[in-house]
Amino acid sequence: MARTITSPTDAAAELSERFSRARRAVFFGGAGVSTASGIPDFRSVDGLYHQHFAYPPEEMLGHDFFVSHTAEFYEFYRERMICLTARPNRAHEKLAELERTGHLAAVVTQNIDGLHQRAGSRTVHELHGSVHRNVCERCGAVYDAAWVLATEGVPHCEACGGLVKPDVVLYGEPLSERVLLASVRAIQEADLLVIGGTSLVVYPAAGLVNYFGGDELVIVNRERTPADEAADLVCACDIAAAFDF
């Protein structure tokens, strides 16, 4: 049975020790990594799925809704999915530092906020894409998040007039095969896998942890996850505090 600790101080000490002795560590993260940066997650008490909108958030984040209610999709997307004022928190910063010092090989993330890169991480596999890339479906021109925020209604390409779509994976859409394969490879090659800030219930992303066959599996998440029983250590505490080492 996994050892469970709830003290952020103890968690930080344990994580520091494990990263220091790992030969190839990988971090797999979800929405909980960015909550300390002011970006709400989906399933917690204060998450998006517990807030009231004209349509359920999980419906508005679907491919079918994007096609049939494009204007409503973009209203929600601008208001709730893009947060350019958010700043990396201690977890993002420490992960970038661990990569710079050779103690972390890669970050695999379900987040679309780009905060890992903003903190300085370089090898980041974005399973669900990024709000910072918005692509014209006709000519392939790419626009950043600030450009989308500056538009009104449904944004169209300045070059050809085509519909611009966020480079994020909506419900009903497949993950990028390139990113998926790179993520699987990173997890397979890891001797330490730290899973943080994710409930591990969103598939197929959550299924990637099954590819891990390394020495140590660590979970850092306030709530229980399906992988807790298989973990060597569970840190049931705030993730930003746990990475304050």
121: its two tokens:
């991480």
Catalytic residue among 103, 116, 125, 128: 128
d(CA 41, CA 47): 5
Q: Torsion-angle region of residue 200: left (phi > 0), alpha (psi -120 to 50) or beta?
A: left
128 among known catalytic residues: yes
The H or E element spanning position 119 is: helix 115-119
Peptide bond into 204 cis (omega under 30): yes
Q: Which residues contact 79 (CB under 8 A, 6 or more apart)?
A: none
Which amino acid belongs to residue 66? Answer: F
Give the closest residue to 168 by CA, choosing from 77, 86, 79. 77
Phi and psi at residue 131, to the nearest 5° = -70, -15
- Residues recognised as catalytic: 128
